[in-house]
Structure 1
Amino acid sequence: MKATMKELYEGERPYEKCLTCGSKALSDKELLAVLLRTGTAGENALELAGRILNLPGYQGLAGFGRIPMERLLKLKGVGKVKAVQLKCAAELALRMAKAAAGERLCLKSPATIADYFMEELRYEEQEQLIVLFLDTRNRLLKEKLMFKGTVNASLASPREIFLEALEVHAVHVVLVHNHPSGDPAPSQEDIQITQRICYAGELLGIRLLDHVIIGDGCYCSLKELEILPEGKEEQKVCMADG
């Protein structure tokens, strides 16, 4: 016979443990059990939480955030209410991570740009191209998802990007996109897209500052790799200023 939550010793119950020791004392499984509150017939909330965290293809906390709603609904013991609660909890965690990274965000720093988008993009199964539109002082005017799917030269149209830039009166743009493979090394297609957008921007007086590619916990900056046409000149200026 499996013990219900009430039958567990008080120190083993996640809710009571949190009250006594604080949330940091709880394991991942215990934290999830608190959100679930109840289990199902023959399975308490802790056991249900463990089963969710060990779901094939979605193991651990990183996997938990990627479980599709339809997959959650198929799990025994997870109805519509629990599925919505779990998806909202995962989304809230993602937004909290992004908000924390936003406090350190410097739009001149590829590392902080990568940090800002890392948790949002590193687990995406499709490529996404996000464009940041900046003013003359490199302050963010707007952030917009421009393309989703295979980001190639035919889809990543400079026209759509710069129509948006002109609408918000941007003078600089930064490209951010992810590689679902986890390897952020730029492909030849990435380089071609970057060059096309860079040259189109020069004609309009809107400068492409960087193209940051997000991998799994790592990133690549085409500015740092000196792939942007003006990259080498800009680096000389920075060295002279330093």
Structure 2
Amino acid sequence: MNQNKTMKDMIADERPYEKCERFGAGSLTDIELLAVLLRTGTKGENSLELARKLLYPDTGVQNKDETHLQNWTKEELMKVQGIGRVKAIQILCLCELSKRMAQLSAGKELDFSKPDTIADYYMEDMRHRRQEHMKLLMLNTRSKLIGESEISKGTINMSLVSPRELFVEALMKNAVYIILLHNHPSGDPSPSRADILVTRRVKEAGEILGIELLDHIIIGDNCYVSLALEGYLGNA
């Protein structure tokens, strides 16, 4: 399909609207789905080509994750020719909706005793972030979530992750168990030395206070590592 054609030049089965109507939304490519939402392109460039530029930008950035559409800000989107304030906001809302729907779907099967279901639930929220974010998940005696809190932003290390502040939060919620969760923007969830040190420090502090650290899960790009399953908590 020649994406430089105008929509009127394309045969009906090539146009995203008509293709969706005839064959269903599942038949559309990612580019075609975004083109339907963009509706219009620019002079000399139809909505399909504009969608392609947004989804697969030729920016020269070595790390492909940095160019992922969900990472873009409104200001960055508006720098693309053909994307004004309204379209930029629509795209941001689309990305947020897709993230929430992914969480809603994963949440139906969420079991805090299973690292895979926890990783699935938080994957879309965390895997596109440009910086490391660490969450504290707090659970009751039945291992049900009673609260979550973001406790660190930036490179994870012992100076940024304070067990004292972490457990103050957990004690206020009357948590019996906690789980640490953070992302690696590189996409590789392999634990660093700092990750392991933080995990051990929090585990030891929890043993003194009677709040058990069940796991520390590291989110990568559609993959994860559970430090409990890897044996770093001594209970795998």
TM-score by length of 2: 0.89
1:156 alignment counterpart: 161
1:25 alignment counterpart: 27
1:93-133: CA deviations, max 9, x gaps?
11111221111211011121122222222232211101110
2:70 alignment counterpart: 65
1:141 counterpart (128, 135, 146): 146
Instruction: After superposing the two structures, state which structure 1 stretch, 90-99 or 118-127, moved more.
Output: 118-127
CA distance in 2, matches of 1:187, 1:17: 47
The answer to whether 1:123 aligns with 2:128 is: yes
- Please state how far the C-alpha of 1:150 moved relative to its aligned partner: 1.0
1:144-198: CA deviations, max 9, x gaps?
2111101110110011111111121111100011122222222221121112111
2:173 counterpart (157, 168, 180): 168
Instruction: Answer yes or no: is the 8 Å Cα contact 2:185–2:220 preserved in 1.
Output: yes
Q: Tell me the SS of whatever aligns to 1:130.
A: strand
Give the fraction of aligned pairs with identical amino acids, expressed as a percent: 51
1:219 alignment counterpart: 224
CA distance in 1, matches of 2:17, 2:52: 16
1:207 alignment counterpart: 212
2:57 alignment counterpart: 55
The answer to whether 1:11 aligns with 2:48 is: no
- Specify every segment of 5 or more residues in structure 2 that has no aligned partner in the other structure, as ranges: none
Query: Root-mean-square deviation (CA), in Å?
Result: 1.9
Instruction: Answer yes or no: is the 8 Å Cα contact 1:53–1:59 preserved in 2.
Output: no
- Please state how far the C-alpha of 1:3 moved relative to its aligned partner: 4.1
**What pairs with 1:71-150 in structure 2 (closer than 5 Å)?**
71-150=76-155
TM-score by length of 1: 0.87
**What pairs with 1:221-240 in structure 2 (closer than 5 Å)?**
221-228=226-233, 230-231=234-235, 235=236
